[in-house]
Amino acid sequence: MDSLQHTEDTPLRDSMTTPPLLLAGAGHAHLVMFRRWLDSGYRPPPGTALINPDRHAWYSGMMPGLMAGRYGAEQCAIALAPLCRELGIRLIQDVVRSLDAASNTMRLGSGMVLGYQCLSINTGSQPPAPPEDDGSIQVVPAKPFPALHQAWSDWRDQAPPARLGVLGGGAAAIELALAMRASLADTELHVFSASELLAQQPFGLIQRVHEMLAERRISVHTQTRITRIEHCHVMAEMRPICQLDALVLASGAAPLHWYADSGLAQDGQGFLCATETLQSTSHPNVFVSGDSASLPGSKKSGVYSVRHGPVLADNIQSFLQDRPLTRYQPQKKALALLATADGGALTNVGGWTLGGRLIGRWKDWLDQRFMARHRVENAPGDDTDH
Ligand SMILES: Cc1cc2nc3c(=O)[nH]c(=O)nc-3n(C[C@H](O)[C@H](O)[C@H](O)COP(=O)(O)OP(=O)(O)OC[C@H]3O[C@@H](n4cnc5c(N)ncnc54)[C@H](O)[C@@H]3O)c2cc1C
């Protein structure tokens, strides 16, 4: 996989260009939007551009399976070049550094400045880190995925950490801990959670997860809020909890830094407030979806981001054509399938905890169906660097 570099066809450093539609981030909602546009025959206006740091969109649901050795990287990521080519979208491999919604301009990591008439933000979130860190251990956020993948590949192929921690008590943290055990057999593994594991789930499922973690030699520290890293120790306030060599952050969702100074309306946490039509509550020419959005009834998960996609596709098209917009209605519940790194998965159906290979095969089928549906085959000349 490629590292961050500017590879737009005509470099425009420090110059100003104003595409009619600018798409920031190749998140789940934008992928679904692209598929809907492909299926309906709609093509966005000429000059539309997508900014994404990587030439691939990684699918979070399969990342733990990748680290458990169950998938290759090429199965877990969608190449953006063929998708963009099919839709007539310019792919700019770069990162948004800042946004000024008052002047409709965006500055990228390369220094390029872009204006826009309409903007859609689907750049996701990042896991929060312990507020104090003296840099004595390697800290790897679970997102962005290319960096996590690189760190994990180095551990697996070169130097596995003797002691590895996973910060977080949700499904992503547990899946990653189980996956690390599958690929790093001799590493001492710990999970740290500020509350109980899977706090919203029924007791039966929580118990099954505790049993599984114990069977796989993973130590669990619940009710342990890690606030500091000091002298190779993770600490809860001033109390040393454990000595580590590396820590993976799967600690939930925090806003990206540049949301704060964007001028877009934000909630108390710093996520971008959106209406039911997925427009910014302060700037109607800016659409917000996925984890970046603060939207009543919607949660920070891939499942909810995917459901934003069709509404986003229709509403951006309608906005550009000056037609009425439709409303997004969040589903009340979402199916949670927790991959157990051995081909199996756990789930909760009507208060019953179900698990095993059959559930795992079901999860595989759902994940692979998503990938097949949103992938566009590479044409000769496309950048395929998997
Ligand atoms: C290990 C793990 C496993 C998970 N498993 C599941 C699961 O099984 N089911 C589920 O529902 N949820 C899961 N989640 C949560 C899920 O990943 C997120 O909720 C989901 O990815 C959010 O989607 P999104 O559409 O907001 O954008 P994302 O999918 O997060 O994508 C954001 C995109 O924007 C790009 N980007 C980021 N910053 C910038 C920038 N500054 N400029 C330009 N582009 C940028 C990124 O490279 C990425 O391509 C998991 C999370 C983790 C960490």
Q: How far apart are CA 273 and CA 269, in angstroms?
A: 10
Residue 143 CB–ligand 1 contact under 6 Å: yes
Report pLDDT for 1.
Answer: 41
Report pLDDT for 382.
Answer: 53
Q: What is the CATH number of the domain that holds 220?
A: 3.50.50.60
Domains held by the chain: number: 3
pLDDT, one tens digit per residue, over 258-270 is 999 999 999 999 9
For 384, other C-beta atoms within 10 Å of its C-beta total 13
| Domain annotation covers residue 4 | no
Q: How far is CA 75 from the centre of its chain?
A: 16
Q: How far apart are CA 271 and CA 285, in angstroms?
A: 17
Residue 2 has pLDDT above 80, yes or no: no
> Are residues 86 and 168 part of one domain?
no
Token match 């933000």: residue?
A: 121
| Domain annotation covers residue 159 | yes
pLDDT band at 233 (very low <50, low <70, confident <90, very high): very high
pLDDT, one tens digit per residue, over 212-227 is 999 999 999 999 999 9
CB 93 within 8 A of CB 117: no
pLDDT band at 377 (very low <50, low <70, confident <90, very high): confident
Q: Report the separation in Å between the CA atom of 331 and the middle of ligand 1, taken as the mean of its atom positions.
A: 19
> Are residues 98 and 149 part of one domain?
no
> Are residues 34 and 119 part of one domain?
yes
Report pLDDT for 47.
Answer: 94
Helix (H, G, I), strand (E, B) or coil at 91: strand
- Give which of 101, 142, 139 is closest to 120, Cα–Cα: 101
> Are residues 264 and 157 part of one domain?
no
Report pLDDT for 6.
Answer: 39
> Are residues 159 and 198 part of one domain?
yes
pLDDT, one tens digit per residue, over 25-67 is 999 999 999 999 999 999 999 999 999 999 999 999 999 999 9
Report pLDDT for 7.
Answer: 44
Reduced 3-state DSSP string for 181-248: HHHCCCCEEEEECCCCCCCCCCHHHHHHHHHHHHHCCEEEECCCCCCEEECCEEEECCEEEEECCEEE
Residue 333 has pLDDT above 90, yes or no: no
pLDDT band at 16 (very low <50, low <70, confident <90, very high): low
Instruction: Determine what percent of the chain is predicted with pLDDT higher than 70.
Output: 93
| Domain annotation covers residue 10 | no
| Domain annotation covers residue 30 | yes
> Are residues 279 and 348 part of one domain?
no
pLDDT, one tens digit per residue, over 176-203 is 999 999 999 999 999 999 999 998 888 9
Residue 9 has pLDDT above 60, yes or no: no
pLDDT, one tens digit per residue, over 354-369 is 999 999 999 999 999 9
Token match 């492909």: residue?
A: 38
Give the position, in ligand 1's atom list, of the atom nearest the Cα of 124.
26
Nearest CA to ligand 1 atom 21: 302
Nearest CA to ligand 1 atom 49: 26
- Tokens encoding 182: 């599958």
Report pLDDT for 350.
Answer: 82
> Are residues 361 and 291 part of one domain?
no
Token match 């698990």: residue?
A: 355
| Domain annotation covers residue 146 | yes
Angle at 185 between CA 183 and CA 191, to 5 degrees: 85
CB 320 within 8 A of CB 300: no
Angle in degrees, 0-180, between the axes of helices 28-40 and 357-374, rounded to the nearest 10: 60
Helix (H, G, I), strand (E, B) or coil at 178: helix
Task: Provide mean pLDDT across the span 274-301.
Answer: 97
Last residue of a domain, one of 222, 249, 276: 249
Token match 């085959």: residue?
A: 377
CB 125 within 8 A of CB 254: yes
> Are residues 296 and 233 part of one domain?
no
CB 334 within 8 A of CB 303: yes
What is the residue type of 30? H
Nearest CA to ligand 1 atom 39: 123
Q: Among 7, 8, 58, 60, which is best to mutate for testing ligand 1, by the most ligand atoms less than 8 A from CB?
A: 60
Q: How far apart are CA 367 and CA 138, in angstroms?
A: 30
| Domain annotation covers residue 74 | yes
The more confidently predicted of residues 17 and 317 is: 317
In terms of residue numbers, what domain contains 312? 16-125+254-332
Report pLDDT for 18.
Answer: 83
pLDDT, one tens digit per residue, over 104-124 is 999 999 999 999 999 999 999
> Are residues 197 and 160 part of one domain?
yes
Residue 130 CB–ligand 1 contact under 6 Å: no
| Domain annotation covers residue 384 | no
CB 179 within 8 A of CB 341: yes
> Are residues 224 and 209 part of one domain?
yes
Instruction: Determine what percent of the chain is predicted with pLDDT higher than 90.
Output: 88
> For all residues of the chain together, what is the average pLDDT?
92
Task: Provide mean pLDDT across the span 277-297.
Answer: 97
| Domain annotation covers residue 237 | yes
Helix (H, G, I), strand (E, B) or coil at 142: coil
- Give which of 327, 326, 316, 289 is closest to 20, Cα–Cα: 316
